Amino acid sequence: MKDFYTLDDLRHWDQIAPTLNPPARLAVIGDPIAHSRSPQMHNAALKACGIEAQYIRVQVPVGHVSEAFRLFAEHGFLGVNCTIPHKFEALQSVDEVAPLAQQLGAVNTVLIKDGHLTGYNSDGPGFLRSVKESFGKEVHDLRVLIIGAGGGAGRAVAVQCAIEQCPRLVLINRTLDKLSALMAELGSLSPGTMIETAEWTDAALALQLNRTDLIVNATPIGMKPDDAPLFTRSLWQPHHLVYDMVYKASGQTTPFIAAARQIGAKTCDGLVLLLHQGAISFEHWFPGMTAPIEAMRRGLQE
Ligand SMILES: NC(=O)c1ccc[n+]([C@@H]2O[C@H](COP(=O)([O-])OP(=O)(O)OC[C@H]3O[C@@H](n4cnc5c(N)ncnc54)[C@H](OP(=O)(O)O)[C@@H]3O)[C@@H](O)[C@H]2O)c1
């Protein structure tokens, strides 16, 4: 088995399939994709449930998601996960989009049944489960601030928070104008939520962080070793619940999480989100089964 396959491999799958035992029936697509930890987690789940199949990585370039989906269906795959940069293209490349995925504006899970592709989003519900596991709280009770709300993941978290009717929602983005349409949509989803945008400056953050429980990093900042900190250390407060959607392939702590822990704030990292969104994807692919969450967690840690 290779670390990852390519679209060209998928086009010549008849030559590759006989080399794989158990057969590949599930995959994650992205570009790049080599860093993804999803195979460790899903292969542990398949093994724990006695399912004779394996989960592989496939690197698919932008603009080729429909073709990749068609090839997966032809080669007997049951489902696919989509990661950066394909979640939006996937939304437009499936036959049917589940209502929540439509609302969240992205598809990260595809179920293939009799050649019909249904797109789901497990990031939003996975976010809720990971907040509950890490902080023992419901989003409904938290004042949330999202940095990177204009991206795919940030938007999904913002919409999910509005669906949960959280009391206060503050959106921050490098490109502030990207937030206008989202603001209108969130307002109609949750008229009772106080929704604001804020500038990404220390002065604006200082004001907002006094009124925030949960801080979410939905940018990729922290993935690269030379990334600057998201904001000045003196703005942290120990009561903050700090959530970083980023995870490092090495499993190392991200700088955002490390800074939060230093002042005694509670934290949740991207691996916890990966675990819970993965469990929900698994349950879409195998309806009626409960995902073996502890086997998946061990798979991720190995
Ligand atoms: N753990 C998980 O399971 C999981 C699930 C989903 C996503 N994620 C992670 O979440 C992160 C975002 O994913 P995405 O799909 O939302 O990506 P995306 O659609 O490309 O959005 C990126 C967001 O980050 C901002 N951004 C990017 N580079 C920046 C920089 N140098 N300075 C300031 N802002 C910057 C963008 O701002 P502009 O709008 O100004 O461009 C945008 O808001 C990624 O690291 C991804 O791995 C993790």
87 is catalytic: yes
Nearest to 36 by CA among 259, 281, 265: 281
What is the distance in A from the centroid of ligand 1 to the CA of 235? 22
Mutate to test the pocket of ligand 1, among 35, 104, 219, 230 (most ligand atoms within 8 A of CB): 219
**Which residues of the chain register pLDDT less than 50?**
none
Per DSSP, 270 falls in state H
Q: Which atom of ligand 1 is nearest to the CA of 222?
A: 45
Which domains are seen in the chain, by residue range? 5-121+273-301 (3.40.50.10860), 124-268 (3.40.50.720)
State the DSSP H helix or E strand holding residue 225, giving kind and residue range, or none if neither.
none
Ligand 1 pocket residue status of 12, Cβ below 6 Å: no
Distances (CA, A) of 283 to 40, 61, 114, 122, 177: 17, 27, 18, 10, 37
Q: Does the Cβ of 30 fall within 6 Å of ligand 1? A: no
Give the predicted TM-score (pTM) of the model: 0.94
Q: How far is the CA of 218 from the centre of ligand 1 (A)?
A: 5
pLDDT tens digits along 40-69: 999 999 999 999 999 999 999 999 999 999
Query: Closest ligand 1 atom, CA of 154?
Result: 16
Instruction: Give the pLDDT of residue 208.
Output: 96
Average pLDDT, the chain: 95
Phi, psi of 230 (to 5 degrees): -65, -40
* 301 close to 251: Cβ distance less than 8 angstroms: yes
Q: What is the separation of C-alpha 19 from the centre of its chain, rounded to a whole number of angstroms?
A: 31
Task: Report residue 284 as tokens.
Answer: 């879409």
Ligand 1 centre and the CA of 151: distance in Å? 5
Mutate to test the pocket of ligand 1, among 174, 180, 256 (most ligand atoms within 8 A of CB): 174
Q: What are the tens digits of pLDDT across the range 56-110?
A: 999 999 999 999 999 999 999 999 999 999 999 999 999 999 999 999 999 999 9
245 neighbors 218 (Cβ within 8 angstroms): yes
Distances (CA, A) of 127 to 115, 130, 146, 156: 30, 5, 13, 9
**Cα(74)–Cα(219) distance, rounded to whole angstroms?**
35
Q: Give 260's contacts (C-beta < 8 A, 6+ positions apart).
A: 236, 240, 242, 266, 267
Nearest CA to ligand 1 atom 27: 219
Q: Of the residues 2, 47, 87, 224, which is catalytic? A: 87
Whether the CB of 153 sits within 6 Å of ligand 1: yes
Report the relative pairing of strands 96-97 and 54-59 from DSSP bridges: unpaired
- Of 229, 278, 282, the C-alpha closest to 257 is 229
Q: Is the link from the previous residue into 191 a cis peptide, with omega within 30 of 0?
A: no
φ and ψ at residue 268, rounded to 5 degrees: -145, 130
pLDDT of residue 225: 82
Tens digits of residue pLDDT in 12-24: 999 999 999 999 9
Report the atom number in ligand 1 closest to the C-alpha of 156: 16
